[in-house]
Amino acid sequence: MVFSRFFSGLALALGLSASVAPTPAEASSRPAAPGPASPAPGTVRKHLIYFKDKAGTPHQLSRPQTFLSARAVQRRQRQGIALLPRDLPVSPAYVQQVKAVPGAQLWYTSRWFNAAVVACDSATLQQLQALPCVRGARTLNRGLPGSRKRGEGEQTSTAPESTAANPYGKAYPQAQMLGAVRMHEAGFRGEGLQIAVFDAGFPGVNTAPAFAALRNEQRLASTFNFVDKNKAVYQRNSHGTHCLSTMAANEPGVYIGTAPQATYHLCITEDSYSEHPVEEANWLIAAEYADSAGVDIISSSLGYTTFDYPSIDYTYADLNGRTAISTRAATLAARVGMLVVNSAGNEGNNTWRYITAPADADSILTVGAVDSLRGRASFSSRGPTADGRIKPNLAAMGEQTAIVTPDGRVNRGNGTSYSCPVLAGMVAGFWQANPQLTAQQVISFLQRSGSRAATPNDEVGYGIPDFVQAYNLANPGAPLATQAASAQQNLFIYPNPVKETELYLQLAVGFQGVPLRVRIYDARGALVAEEQVAATTAAAVRLQPGVLVKGVYTCTVSAGREQRTVRFVKL
């Protein structure tokens, strides 16, 4: 594979030895290599050491293959993005100077920040700052782990049993809401796209049936744990497993995610036991890793505002797109052609209420949450950014979202952590269908397809995107399934909304004179009514679904091999 030709350069870029550098397509089944020994409390801390320049680097912009994979170079070329000095690895001579200081433990190096993550005590830090190659330093963690750890605030619950007669199982509503079901029917399931998932752990991904296809088809391109500096990712917090499942799970009849055929890189950047800016530095290093590997999309369900050391908490004024470490990293990831999808945050009901870093980054797709009725979830963080930009950009289902647990069960969870990957999977299918687009053009077309495209706001941005509408906007001369779309226009439910018990189905021409099978699903994808309609030449037929409770419903009408889907609301 192409990865084997660049990982020595990638190891150098990360400040790793060849024996520690993560290798793609390598499952972390063997015991994890131990990380650095725990430092004495209050003595050894991690710092971001900034270098003055990149003098003496053996790498050249004209020969990017020494530090980037062929796929990474192709991504830039395809989007007309030039290589810049920031892409070059840090100077090896400077790295050696840091290593030569007694007590300095080099963890990683950063190309984009021209910096190194170093663990040391305060006396050693002074020696490092005195080096002629160093221009400054920032401390990344202080004190002992505290009680101020702030996660995304998700809640999970057991999903009720469903008789949904569809291959998506309980994941049907969240996929249908974005047009991902139509996207899959059109043949776009993320094939050929690579997605890096940044999170706190992925237990069960190596064993759960929902991820069997991902494993068996060798679409787990790489794993790396940036917290412990090893390859072991099937451990720690299950949050990453839940998020990954909304895209990658593929167990027909039980659960299908929005990008079930994409290739994935699993990265632990988040330490769920504490909250320090070092996690943002992990995000930065992981983004550079993803860049070097040729990743197309980053899905990050992470956010930062408060830390265990309160004096370094971010303020709302800091959410200006250029202050937080993770925000600056996300912006640079976007600058090299990756499409960054990040959760808006779950602060909508709290005093903070606003988005969290890196959701304020420029040129990324920040995702808010809605419920099954397409209304904004009350917990979903709001915009705008401190400098007045619209955030979130788009929204997807994040309330009562179906997720897969490490033991393979399907539960439901609340959080923009889930709306983010649900949408990231649709992004993969849309980009697969439109490979000529740049990452920024993909974001633009999705925003133009949003349910609030004409009147974006600071709660859901441009609203809920739709794959078919976005595709047709990007391909005005060859819209998706033109004939089917035309027939769809004449197949609808009325009255809509439905107030009483009378419900009629207006028949398209292709659905007259043939027997029909009509199935009605509720917002969770459960089959609530089914009937056979005899062949008729009438323009409409009355349906008999029985008593329907208030909510949004999907009506699927089948005529032989032809099938159409329409939605209606019961008041």
Q: Which of 184, 239, 242, 276 is catalytic?
A: 239
Distance CA 255, CA 403 (A): 9
Q: Which of 59, 110, 199, 371 is catalytic?
A: 199
- Identify the CA nearest to 418 among candidates 346, 474, 493: 346
Cβ pair 415, 379 in contact under 8 A: yes
Cβ pair 35, 228 in contact under 8 A: yes
Rg over alpha carbons for the chain, rounded to the nearest Å, is 25
Both tokens assigned to 53? 């320049």
Q: Is 276 a catalytic residue?
A: no
Distance CA 347, CA 353 (A): 5
- Identify the CA nearest to 427 among candidates 235, 258, 244: 258
The full DSSP string for 323-372 is: SSHHHHHHHHHHHTT-EEEEE--S-TTSSS-B--BTTT-TTSEEEEEE-T
Q: 362 Cβ partners below 8 Å, 6+ apart? A: 321, 331, 334, 389
Cis-peptide, bond into residue 85, ω within 30° of zero: no
Q: Which of 28, 91, 222, 417 is catalytic?
A: 417
3-state helix, strand, coil in the chain (%, to 5): 25, 25, 50
Q: Is 184 a catalytic residue?
A: no
The pair phi, psi for residue 500, each rounded to 5°, is -105, -145
Distance CA 414, CA 402 (A): 9
Cβ pair 559, 513 in contact under 8 A: no
Q: At what angle do helices 7-14 and 278-293 cross, to 10 degrees?
A: 160
List beta partners, residue 120.
Answer: 45
Q: Is 199 a catalytic residue?
A: yes
The full DSSP string for 454-479 is: SS-BTTTBT----HHHHHHHH-TTS-
Residues with active-site annotation: 199, 239, 417
